[in-house]
Amino acid sequence: MPAKHLQQAFGSAWSDAQVAPRVRSRLSGQYAALGEGVRSARAAVRAWVQVWGASRSRRLGTKVAFAALAAVSLQAAMVTTVRAALYDDQEYLVFPERWLASLDLRAPARDIPPPPTASPAVGGMNVAPLPLVISQYRVQPGDTLSSIAFDFGLELDTVASLNRTAGVGVHMVDIGEIVRIPNQDGIYLAAGADLDETSLSHGVMADDVLATNRVIGSVVAADTQLFFSGVQHSGAALTLAIGAAFQRPLVGGWVSSRFGPRIDPFTKTRRMHNGIDVAARRGTPVRATQDGRVVAVGESPHLGNYVIISHYVERYSSVYGHLQRVHVRRGHIVERGQLIGAVGSTGRSTAPHLHFELRQGHRPVDPADLIARMR
């Protein structure tokens, strides 16, 4: 019985010895204990039926149904508990920094057509100057940045830009968090060396920008951040600002290891986990999180079969590890959502899963801060 249900929980990983014997033994013990509870519940239901008789059980069928349902629910909870136990033993990989630093992670050459980006920001739309007023809103249960923007009649780009940096954390708000709410749509931009030129390039007048920001005089430093009323990001800059630049690299699965320092189950030491592990069935399609160029394909003792893609957006690159199969080669140009491999358990791995990283330059960032449904 335990082996049957544990194999259902982990698929071929259980029989293929991808789950370490130590982990397998512990999970079998936990499952057996839960199984005893289920058997007791079922025995109670059978005894109840025998005592009260078939006719009475039909009249009180609702009670029997509830008792049986409780037993079935307890059995369903067993798979969840087994999965939860795997979280503690999931691999927390450390990506080799020295090797990564040797890779060419520059953005693709300009002769490769990038996604269309007319300009980083567009559209003053002849908005009349209105002095900027920023109020504060305290996040309530059920709020998202999108719903907050809608409730105040603003674009998500506006609210996200005032409260997040480069789209980091757009998909997450904390109850009680203070969100800045402007009285008009627009975004902050650097004044630039020539404010007149910067303003005209975004369809607004310099005098209007100064009036909106209540700036007295006409001289501002080039790096001064000013609110440009009516202007919005566009192209890749817009997708990044509103948290839509990257997509989830696979459909389904569950996050079994999060970004951050963890205890390595192999060395029993505290080490940094530079990505997110998504447990999924062996062979699950893995797709490119964003357009870009494949800069590395190979195999390593830690990551097993891996792919690294350099993207067009703000020097970002993505890493896909433990692949069973790889469908791209170095130098290939890939599109967002394109199939690049399949989930496997190659390298240092306890079970089939995808090790996924996002890096800006050589700095790892938490994918959950940039991609929805990655927590």
The pLDDT of residue 155 is 94
The pLDDT of residue 95 is 40
Task: Give the architecture (CATH level 2) of 97-110+246-369.
Answer: Distorted Sandwich (2.70)
The pLDDT of residue 128 is 61
What CA–CA distances, in Å, run from 278 to 123, 257, 269? 40, 7, 22
Residues near 8 by beta carbon (within 8 Å), at least 6 away in sequence: 79
Tokens 């893995």 found at: 286
Q: Which amino acid is at 289?
A: T
CATH top-level class of 121-233: alpha beta
The pLDDT of residue 85 is 37
The pLDDT of residue 264 is 78
Which residue from 375, 152, 193, 245 is spatially nearest to 162, judged by alpha carbons? Answer: 152
- How far is residue 207's CA from residue 248's CA, in Å, rounded to a whole number? 43
The pLDDT of residue 227 is 94
Burial of 28 from C-beta contacts in 10 A (0-12 / 13-18 / 19+) = middle
The pLDDT of residue 31 is 52
pLDDT means per 10 residues in the chain (375 residues)? 49 46 52 53 51 45 46 45 38 41 51 44 61 94 91 94 84 91 93 90 91 88 92 86 90 90 82 92 96 94 94 91 96 96 94 94 90 78
The pLDDT of residue 71 is 46
The pLDDT of residue 6 is 46
- Global model pTM greater than 0.85: no
The pLDDT of residue 312 is 85
| In the chain, domain spans | 2-89, 97-110+246-369, 121-233
